[in-house]
Structure 1
Amino acid sequence: MKLKNKYQKFSKISEQKFREIIRCFALDLTASDTAKMTGISVRSINPIFLKIRHRIAALCEQSSPLSGVVELDESYFGARRIRGKRGRGASGKTIVFGILKRNGVVYTEIVPDASKASLIKVIRGHISADSEINTDGWKAYDGLVDMGYEKHYRVHHGSNEFARGKQHINGIESFWSYAKGRLAKFHGISKEMFYLHLKETEFRFNHRHEDLGKILMKMLRNNPI
């Protein structure tokens, strides 16, 4: 029997029960915990969570170019990386490039490697030329000034330099810590699902000071899954 539900098309779940599911998702509960809380089977919860994650990812990809003071960094997800290895040495890792607007939002993108060509492609598409860019000393960031990003500041972690006044990348590094801590609770994520979980983490970080449940309900009212 199909029930009236403004959040889900052709739903067999009541609108009230569906709101409970959304609230559980907003609280970052797993599908198993949500099933226990709502009395709805995990088999029914999983496809709902998957559709919500697809919507969130699509919303994140619509983000406008970042401007102002931004921090750039790459991070490596998956099996433990060999200390000191970066770029080609990150075999078996999923490499994520992040751009954080200081005291604001973050944008993440999976990249094939940490080479200059890969990172510059993302930078050009997501950072305004008048931005103040902060990076570490990784060689892929060489030449940003020549490309029109005139305000480029670096801290050299290899020389134990982690901040020089307001020049640092502490914000994006804090995001990496949050992301890895959050994703660890899933005890392993397939490569096929990693993108969706990454974008969900980005979305949660960007709305960390807001009521995520209300945001999700509004999103699904406007465009039911």
Structure 2
Amino acid sequence: MKLKNRYLYRSHISEKKFREILRWFCEDLDATKTASFSHVQRKSVNQLFTKIRTRILFLCQKEEKFSGEVEVDESYFGARRVRGKRGRGAQRKTPVVGLLKQGGKVFTKVIPNCTRKELIPIIKGQIVKKSTVYTDGWKSYDGLVLNGYHHYRIFQHENEFARGRNHVNGIESFWSFTKGRLSKFNGVKKEYFV
């Protein structure tokens, strides 16, 4: 019996079954539950989920640059901070920069570290010049004005979380949502963290 599937080339999963698995992916079920409901091997479901995520990533990378008002922030993903350790607690954590277009569109990228050398090229590559950029007080964002942006800072270490329309609450909320969602899956291996 030859199965036809216009979504997956040379697949042994029917179109109907693929749509069913895709629906469960959209409903945020993990691969084990999806495999159980669809009667497909968990390994096959994992492979399908990876293909779906890769396709989403590909389509998102084709999007145009952000313009207007954009919030920029960095965050660290990994094991919880060890109590008693000084500093940002970022040893063995994965730094990620995030850009949020006010209105809901998000761009994230894993970076080796949160230095100006890493952050400024990403901002220049993803945000149109003369846009308004809101950041926290992190020193690596110095120089955005010299690169052609309107730059506003919020100094969170001084308990300032908003000044009028200037805030980074949207991207901070995104980080909170993302970390909560990843904890549902007990984290993600670093090599799969795209």
TM superposition score normalised by structure 2: 0.93
Q: Output the amino acid matched with 2:102.
A: R
Q: Are the aligned partners of 1:2 and 1:10 in contact in 2 as well (CA < 8 Å)?
A: no
1:56 paired residue number: 56
1:158 paired residue number: 157
Q: Output the amino acid matched with 1:60.
A: C
RMSD: 1.5
Superposed counterparts of 1:95-106, under 5 Å: 95-106=95-106
TM superposition score normalised by structure 1: 0.81
Superposed counterparts of 1:182-193, under 5 Å: 182-193=181-192
1:180 paired residue number: 179
2:6 paired residue number: 6
CA distance in 2, matches of 1:49, 1:2: 23
Q: CA deviation at 1:31?
A: 0.8
Q: CA deviation at 1:95?
A: 0.4
1:108 paired residue number: 108
Q: Are the aligned partners of 1:155 and 1:168 in contact in 2 as well (CA < 8 Å)?
A: yes
* Runs (5+) with no aligned partner, structure 1: 196-225
1:203 paired residue number: none
* Runs (5+) with no aligned partner, structure 2: none
1:79 paired residue number: 79
CA distance in 1, matches of 2:175, 2:100: 11
Ranked by relative contact order (alpha carbons within 8 Å, sequence separation 6 or more), the top structure is 1
Q: CA deviation at 1:188?
A: 2.8
Q: Output the amino acid matched with 1:188.
A: G
From the superposition, tell whether residues 24 and 95 of structure 1 become closer, same or farther in structure 2 (CA, over 3 Å).
same
CA distance in 2, matches of 1:62, 1:113: 25
1:69 paired residue number: 69
* Paired-residue identity, %: 54
The structure with the largest helix share of the pair is: 1
How many residues are paired up?
192
2:16 paired residue number: 16
The structure with the largest strand share of the pair is: 2
CA distance in 2, matches of 1:41, 1:51: 16
From the superposition, tell whether residues 142 and 84 of structure 1 become closer, same or farther in structure 2 (CA, over 3 Å).
farther
Q: Output the amino acid matched with 1:85.
A: G
Q: Output the amino acid matched with 2:170.
A: G
